[in-house]
Structure 1
Amino acid sequence: MKIGFYSSTPLEDKKNWSGTMFKMYEQLLIQGHEVIWIPKVKFTEKEENRFKQIEKWFNKIFNRGYNRHLFTYKAKVAGRRLTKDLKEYKLNALFNPTHVNDFVYLKTDIPIIYLNDANVAQLLNYYPYYSGFGILSKLETKFLEKKVLQNATYSVFSSDWARDFVVDFYGIEKEKVKTIKFGANIIVPEKIEYKKNTDEFTFLFLAVDWVRKRGALAYESLKILKEKGYPVKMLILGCNPEITEDWVTIIPFLNKNNPDEFKQIQQHLLSSHFLFVPTKADCTPIAFCEAAGYGLPVISTNTGGVSAHVVDGYNGILLSPEAQANDYANEIEKLLKLPQKTEEYSENARKLYDKELNWENWGIEFSKILQQL
Structure 2
Amino acid sequence: MKKKHICFVTKYYGSTKNGPGTFADNYIKSVMKSNKYNLTVISGELTESRYGENIYNYTAADNNFIGGIKIRKLINYINKNEKIDVVYFNCYKNAIASTSLNIPYFTNVNDFSNFIGKRKFVWKYLSNRVFKNAKMVFVNSEYTKEHIPQKKSYISDKFKVTGKGINLDNFKFKFNEINNHINILFVGSNYVLKGLEDLIRGVHVLKSRVDFTIHVNIVGDPMTNIDKYQNLIKEFGLDTNILFCGVKSKEEIVEYHNNSHFFVLPSHKEAFGVSILESLASGTPVIATNAGGIPSIIEDGVSGLLIEVGDFNSIANHMVNLINDDKLRYDIAINGLERVKRFDFKEIYNDIMSDINSII
Q: One fold, TM greater than 0.5?
A: yes
Indicate the SS of the match to 2:192. coil
Instruction: Say whether residues 1:219 and 2:200 are aligned partners.
Output: yes
CA distance in 2 between partners of 1:184 and 1:81 (Å): 32
Q: Deviation digits for residues 237-289 of structure 1, max 9, x if unmatched?
A: 326752353761414235316xxxx45x4443223111012122222333212
Match of 2:99 among 69, 86, 106: 106
Q: Which residue of 2 aligns with 1:177?
A: 159
Q: Which residue of 2 aligns with 1:117?
A: 110
**1:186-335 matched pairs, under 5 angstroms:** 188-190=170-172, 192-194=173-175, 196-197=177-178, 199-229=180-210, 231=212, 233-238=214-219, 241-242=229-230, 243=233, 244-245=237-238, 248-253=241-246, 255-256=248-249, 262-263=251-252, 265-321=253-309, 323-335=310-322
Instruction: Say whether residues 1:147 and 2:129 are aligned partners.
Output: yes
Aligned length: 324
TM normalised by structure 2 equals 0.76
Q: CA deviation at 1:145?
A: 0.4
Match of 1:69 among 64, 67, 91: 64
Which residue type is aligned with residue 116 of structure 1?
V
Q: Which residue of 1 aligns with 2:355?
A: 369
CA distance in 2 between partners of 1:195 and 1:79 (Å): 46
Q: Deviation digits for residues 335-371 of structure 1, max 9, x if unmatched?
A: 3343222111111222222332x32222222222223
- Which deviates more from structure 2 when the two are superposed, residues 87-96 or residues 269-278? 87-96
Q: CA deviation at 1:202?
A: 2.6
TM normalised by structure 1 equals 0.73
**1:90-105 matched pairs, under 5 angstroms:** 90-100=83-93, 102-104=95-97
Preserved contact between residue 82 and residue 102 of structure 1 (Cα < 8 Å): no
Q: Deviation digits for residues 133-160 of structure 1, max 9, x if unmatched?
A: 4xxxx42321110110111101112222
- Which deviates more from structure 2 when the two are superposed, residues 215-224 or residues 151-160? 215-224
Indicate the SS of the match to 2:175. coil
Preserved contact between residue 283 and residue 304 of structure 1 (Cα < 8 Å): yes
Q: Which residue of 1 aligns with 2:49?
A: none
Indicate the SS of the match to 2:191. coil
Indicate the SS of the match to 1:330. helix
Match of 1:347 among 324, 331, 334: 334
Which residue type is aligned with residue 340 of structure 1?
K
Aligned alpha-carbon RMSD (Å): 3.4
Q: CA deviation at 1:76?
A: 9.2
Q: Higher Cα Rg: structure 1 or 2?
A: 1
Q: Which residue of 2 aligns with 1:44?
A: none
CA distance in 2 between partners of 1:216 and 1:178 (Å): 34
Preserved contact between residue 79 and residue 107 of structure 1 (Cα < 8 Å): no
Preserved contact between residue 262 and residue 285 of structure 2 (Cα < 8 Å): yes
Q: Deviation digits for residues 190-217 of structure 1, max 9, x if unmatched?
A: 4x24362355433222334433322221
- Change beyond 3 A, Cα 1:234–1:28: same
Q: CA deviation at 1:28?
A: 1.9
CA distance in 1 between partners of 2:69 and 2:189 (Å): 34
Preserved contact between residue 204 and residue 272 of structure 1 (Cα < 8 Å): yes
Preserved contact between residue 104 and residue 147 of structure 1 (Cα < 8 Å): no
CA distance in 2 between partners of 1:139 and 1:246 (Å): 43
Q: Which residue of 2 aligns with 1:21?
A: 24
CA distance in 2 between partners of 1:230 and 1:33 (Å): 57
CA distance in 1 between partners of 2:180 and 2:41 (Å): 53
CA distance in 1 between partners of 2:11 and 2:111 (Å): 19
Gaps of 5+ in 1: 42-47, 53-67, 126-130
CA distance in 2 between partners of 1:75 and 1:193 (Å): 42
Which residue type is aligned with residue 361 of structure 1?
E
Q: CA deviation at 1:84?
A: 4.1
Q: Which residue of 2 aligns with 1:37?
A: 40
CA distance in 1 between partners of 2:259 and 2:79 (Å): 53
Q: CA deviation at 1:21?
A: 1.5
Which residue type is aligned with residue 263 of structure 2?
L
Percent identical pairs in the alignment equals: 15
Which residue type is aligned with residue 354 of structure 1?
K
Preserved contact between residue 263 and residue 284 of structure 2 (Cα < 8 Å): yes
Preserved contact between residue 7 and residue 37 of structure 1 (Cα < 8 Å): no
Q: CA deviation at 1:314?
A: 2.5
- Change beyond 3 A, Cα 1:208–1:105: closer
- Change beyond 3 A, Cα 1:83–1:20: closer
